[in-house]
Structure 1
Amino acid sequence: MTRFDRYMLSQLFVLFGFFSLVLVSVYWINRAVVLFDRLIADGQPASVFLEFTALSLPNVIRLILPMSTFAAAVYVTNRMASESELVVMQATGYSPWRLARPVFIFGTLVGVFMMALTQYLVPASLEQFRFRENQVSGSLSAKLLREGEFMTPSKGITFYIREITPEGVLKDVFLSDRRESDRTTTYSSVDGFLVSEESGPKLVMVNGIAQTYKPEERTLTKTKFTDFSYNISSLVDGPTALFKPLDQRSTVELLMATELISQATRKSEGRVLEEAHGRFNQPLLCLVAALIGFSTLLVGGFSRFGVGRQIIAAILLLVSVKLVESIVTDPVRSNPQLWPLVYAQSIYGLMLAFAMLRLAARPRRRKRDASLQESAA
């Protein structure tokens, strides 16, 4: 590796770290505000918030890595072009293909880091995040004890509390049970209490009314009560330990047990294979983003007016790469035999970068041929 390669690589990684830090911070703040509000409202300590934040970071980093790679390549290329560093290197005989070598190494190294994220860190962190989320949301305080908010702790159940007194008395309790198709039962009471028993937690309602409506018979039955006990253990959906979404399963599992996972998650086999091969395709996108950002700016050469048009063109090329992904998504999900199309966007992006580098090298050939013709004349 020459001194120029080391110099350009150092510039790329410095800017890559800067843009990654900025983008991760922006994305994390947006997520953290919602997460902080939800956890603090549920009465969770700050340590739980920090734990959830740490578990969500690998997935956030995975999302911003291609953007950071592209931004670093564009910024470094623009700076080196504006300071005539690339012009000097080209004058010494460096072709665009030779200049692209450190960018290729940079994109490859970032892709290796992305591979570690997609194959190991992200699935493991998402699985642990979901496990801890089930533990937190599985508590009665997180599921039920929220003032002035209509909640649906389980399918077919609506629960509301107007106020919770310092003594733990629930004021103006409303509970609607629509889990049975032939009837809807609604409970409302002035006061309520949560009581823990061996058979499970119970909601004791005081001075209320129960209304049962049967749509087939079109009858409404009302019953007044002074106190009524309702088993609420069924209101809280327990964590489904055996069920794991696709993004939390290992790549080997997705590839070797595609049919079983398809049945377990109720996703098509094409969707399972798309998730598995997408983890190999995402590291390639980091290389594609770096090469497109560099090669597109190199086409314009040196200009005192800057390379604004080339930057816009590079962004549009990346958008076209994203469009290829949207085009092939439906065919892959409907037909698992078409899984190679997952790599279509990376192949298309590499072809674009190759075309841009070839276009950047062509003007020099033309000038060289013209100078040879003039000298021969």
Structure 2
Amino acid sequence: MGHIDRYILRQLILLFGFFSLVLVSVYWVNQAARLFDSLIADGQNLSVFLEFSALTLPWIVQLILPVSAFVATLYIFNRLIGESELVVLQTAGLSALRLVRPVFAFGVLMAILIALLSNILAPTARTQFMDRQEEVADDLTGRFLREGEFIHPTDGLTVYIRAISDLGEFSDLFLQDQTTPGAQVTYTARNALLVRSETGPRLVMFDGTAQTLDLETGRLATVQFSDFTYDLGGLIAEGGLRRISARELPTGLLLRATPEMAERLGIGYGRLVFEGHDRLAQSLFVIFVPIIAAASLMLGSFSRFGVWKQILIAVMLVLPMQIVRNAAEAQVRADADLWLLSYAQPAIAALVAAVMLGLAMRRRKGWRRVPL
């Protein structure tokens, strides 16, 4: 690789890192805001939020990288044209095919990075995310450990705890249960503890009163108790094994998927087939995105008004490719035998890149025939 290749490749990588950081930060903040609201509302602490946020990063980065590569290539070649560097290189005899060589190397680096993310890091992170999400959903302790405020751990249940000791003992507990149709039960206790059992968490109350109001007759029954156990296990949905998502499965297993395996997992066979091939297709697709950007800008030349027309052409060429991917996904999900359509997006991107590169080389030859 020559000095010019290293120069352009270094600029591409630097700008790619900058745009990736900006775009990932914007997208992550948007996702983190919703995640923060749901976790904190359930009484989880900051460490759980940070853990969940970290686990979402691999697939966020996977989505953002092709966009960052495209924007970085547009920026670099726009700057090369604006500062007349591209004109100098072309005057020195470098063809469009020669100038696009470092862009191709850049695309290959992006493909390797996308392959690592989509085939290794993202599935692993999603599995851990779903497992931790299941644990948090089943954990009622965090929902109860909030003192001095009325909380609603689940529908029909209201809890108030005046104070919680360092040992986890509740003082002055108020619990109102409206989960039974036609009745409302209110418990008050001087002290209480949240304990684990084989059937799930239980709330053990001491020195309290249970008031049962019949909503139909309006009659109130009061019972005093020295200790009483309230079963919280019924508030947790009977889940058994967690349902597996196609995005968690290894790529090798997805590529070898069978209808029987899809039926056992409860996932559509076409969904499994498309997910496996799409991971490979996205790695190929990102190779040609920077080439389309570079070739489109090489159609232009230095102008005080910039090369906004060529930038618009590049954008209009790349944007519809997401529609191609969506259409291919719908077809493969409906009929898994059409799995080759999973590669329609990178195939069209390769064709567009070749056409645009050919036009850029043709324009260069025409420019050389112009007399000085």
TM-score over 0.5 (shorter chain): yes
The 5-angstrom pairing of residues 299-338 of structure 1 reads 299-338=299-338
Q: Deviations over 1:204-250 (max 9, x none)?
A: 78213366xxxxxxxx7988553586532132236654632111111
2:179 alignment counterpart: 176
**Pairing 1:355–2:346 present:** no
Equivalent pairs counted in the alignment come to 353
Residues 266 and 199 of structure 1, relative CA distance in 2, 3 Å threshold: closer
CA contact (8 A) 2:151 2:160 kept: no
After superposition, the Cα gap between the structure-2 partners of 1:79 and 1:199, relative to the gap in structure 1 and judged at 3 Å, is closer
> For residues 65 and 183 of structure 2, what CA distance do their matches in structure 1 show?
51
Q: What's the counterpart of residue 180 of structure 1?
A: none
Question: 1:231-279 deviations in whole A, cap 9, x for unaligned?
Answer: 3213223665463211111111212233244223422211111111111
Offset, 1:333: 0.5
Structure 1 distance, partners of 2:15, 2:362, is 29
Map of 1:206 onto structure 2: 210
Normalising by structure 2, we get a TM-score of 0.84
Amino acid at match of 1:268: G
> C-alpha distance in 2, partners of 1:209/1:144?
24
**1:253–1:197 CA distance, 2 compared to 1 (3 A):** closer
CA distance in 2, matches of 1:208, 1:92: 92
Aligned mates of 2:117, 2:330 — CA distance in 1: 25
Q: Secondary structure at the match of 2:267?
A: coil
CA distance in 1, matches of 2:284, 2:319: 16
C-alpha distance in structure 2 between counterparts of 1:240 and 1:278, whole Å: 31
CA spacing shift, 1:29–1:367, aligned 2, 3 Å: closer
Which residue does the alignment assign to 1:31? 31
Q: Distance in 1 between matches of 2:235 and 2:175?
A: 19
Q: Deviations over 1:269-298 (max 9, x none)?
A: 111111111111111222122112111111
Mapped contact 2:174–2:187 kept (Cα < 8 A) = yes
Amino acid corresponding to residue 360 of structure 1 in structure 2: A
- How far apart, CA to CA, are the structure 2 residues paired with 1:310 and 1:346? 22
- TM-score where L is the length of structure 1: 0.83
Whether 2:186 is the aligned partner of 1:189: answer yes
Mark the CA change 1:343 to 1:187 in structure 2 (over 3 Å): closer, same or farther. farther
Percent identity between matched residues is 38
Separation in structure 2 between the aligned mates of residue 7 and residue 195 of structure 1, nearest angstrom: 64
**Counterparts of 2:370 and 2:41, CA distance in 1:** 74
Residues 97-121 of structure 1 show CA distances to partners (whole Å, capped at 9, x for unaligned) of: 1111110110111110110111111
TM-superposed deviation, 1:166:
2.5
Matched residue, 1:53: 53
Aligned 8 A contact 1:115 1:283 in 2:
yes
Deviation at 1:126, TM superposition (A): 1.1
Is the Cα contact below 8 Å between 2:141 and 2:194 reproduced in 1?
no
Corresponding position of 2:157: 160
- CA-atom RMSD, angstroms? 2.9
- Provide the secondary structure at the position in 2 that maps to 1:165: strand
1:261 and 1:272 in contact (8 A); partners too: no
Which runs of 5 or more structure 2 residues have no equivalent in the other structure?
165-169
- Partners of 2:196 and 2:350 lie apart in 1 by 64
Q: How does 1:96-175 map to 2 (within 5 A)?
A: 96-142=96-142, 158-161=155-158, 163-166=160-163, 168=170, 169=172, 171=174, 173-175=176-178
- Cα separation, 2, equivalents of 1:196 and 1:130: 25
* Equivalent residues in 2 for 1:214-229, closer than 5 Å: 225-226=221-222
